[in-house]
Amino acid sequence: MCSKVVLIFLLVPASFLAILLSLNTIASRQRQFQWDMNRKDVTSLPQLDRERIQQRAERLAKALTIQTISWERDVFETEALLQLHQHLKNSFPLIHSSPSIEVNVINGYSLLYKIRGSNDGKNDGVLPYMLAAHLDVVPVANGTWKMADPFEGRIVDGVIYGRGALDDKSSVMGILEALEFLLENKYNFHRTFYIGFGHDEEVSGFEGAGHIAKFLKETGVSHLDFVLDEGYFVLEDLVEGVDDLVSVIGVTEKGYATLELSVEMSPGHSSIPPKETAIGVLAKAVWALETNPHPSMFGHGPEMDFFAYISSSAKIGHSVLFSNLWLLSSLLSKLLARSPVTDAIQRTTTAVTIIQGGYKHNVIPGSASVTVNHRIHPADSLDQVIEHNRRVINDPRVHIKVVDYYPPTPISPYGLDVSAFNLIASSVKQIYPSSVIAPACSPANTDLRRYVELSDHLYRITPTVLTPVTRGGIHGDDEQITIEHYHNFIRFYVALMLNADRPETGHSTVRHHREL
């Protein structure tokens, strides 16, 4: 009898909880984010014909042949950058001859376009905005490009191959293709906006975007409504539990810290080795870092909202989990920790990238060092990162030096009532109507780091479909974009420019996240 009573007391709360979770899940699946679709209709404009699509693809392919490589900070291919400038002039004659468009070369190699609208700041409260991208690309590693040489700019079976096809010359060319298209169709802009192309994003952005920001401030631009740069993509088959496309808009990005760990000890002859060497002590420190990850910050950044936003499109099992994070967030955090890809969403990451020690096979070195790269979660700080490292290493012989550091960017407001975010989201929905919008923290750094003082609304999306096949091409082999996806890339920027030109835009509502 007693055991039956105990069983009843266990089953009743469990049943109640199951019903509660089911009801919450059903409500979540019924609730769709109604992004403002009262936007200018892109289909009302002359459509890009097939021949012009091919021409646009060929212009991008030509841009990919120009080797605008950034090697390291302050070391980049200056002649190639100037060649790319000329290619842009040749490709977009209306842009570069329009009396309403001012083009400035910034710090020798970056470009800033000012598209002067008819109001040009005459209407109080209407702020300009900026579209950003970068001209440079990363070097090619010792991989094997199968379909084309990295700088061949080859088109094979409707696919454009080459370094920069996704990161980030497709953005450069796609933005200008959209603007040229609107000029061809005699569109007159009402709202002023900017297009900024930095030339050293891959190695810091100091000389490019940093100088663009400085130029804007010096010429009287104290605030921008929003800045949109590269970032996440429209993901296909990359989010577990969701069959729909997931259009991810980055609302912040991780910080970046490079640390040097070093150990100094007495050198000696290898025939009489001490019990511990500098290399051995350092090896233990590396092991400690790699086996003791930084704590999960799940729920302290946009990662919880990411899952809440996609919950209505998830399969039922995943939807139960994503819709009830008020109760199940710790479970999801543990599931994310199983994979390095998903674990990076919720915590500061640690990567040991360089190790140095020793110079002769029979000499015990007196010193050794390693370089450690951290990508810092927005809820974390450099002091917390260093404190964690010291604690898990637990050896005063290991000295920690900060080589390079940039903090995480502030989390930009997002949600239905944030006009800048809504503008971008609804423009994405015009091109990918079946996709679900979700905010996230970008693990990689962009030029938006340099625009923090110019806007509170910094967003990141590369508006093309990314699949498990094409994902590996970013900084890797066979970087590619299909002609059809590039076509939609351009259509997105056409939609965004038109939507941003509406009279009521330019008045960003400053609200924070968690608007579900």
3-state DSSP assignment of residue 442: strand
Q: What is the per-residue pLDDT for 120? A: 76
Cα 502 vs. chain centroid, distance in angstroms? 27
Give residue 25's pLDDT. Answer: 52
SS3 content of the chain, % helix, strand, coil (to 5): 35, 20, 40
* Six-digit token string for 193: 């906006």
The three-state (H, E, C) secondary structure of 169-209, written as one string: HHHHHHHHHHHHHHHHCCCCCCCCEEEEEECCHHHCCCCCH
* pLDDT given for residue 498 in this prediction: 93
Average pLDDT of adjacent 10-residue blocks, the chain of 516 residues: 45 44 50 64 63 93 98 94 98 98 98 93 79 96 84 95 96 97 93 97 96 97 97 92 95 96 94 93 97 96 94 92 93 93 93 94 94 96 98 98 96 94 94 94 93 98 93 90 95 94 59 34
Measured CA to CA, the distance from residue 319 to residue 167 in angstroms comes to: 33
Amino acid 187: pLDDT: 92
Q: Tell me the two tokens of residue 316.
A: 């039922």
What pTM was computed for the model? 0.89
Extract the tokens encoding 79.
């002649």
Please tell me which residue in 136, 168, 202, 303 is annotated as part of the active site.
Answer: 136
Is 167 annotated in the active site? no
Q: Is 136 a catalytic residue?
A: yes
Across 226-262, b (16+ Cβ under 10 Å) vs e yields bbbbbbbbbbbebbebbebbbbbbbbbbbbbbbbbbb
Contact 251, 513 (CB under 8 A): yes
What is residue 124's predicted lDDT score, i.e. its pLDDT? Answer: 60
Q: Which of 168, 200, 201, 478 is catalytic?
A: 201
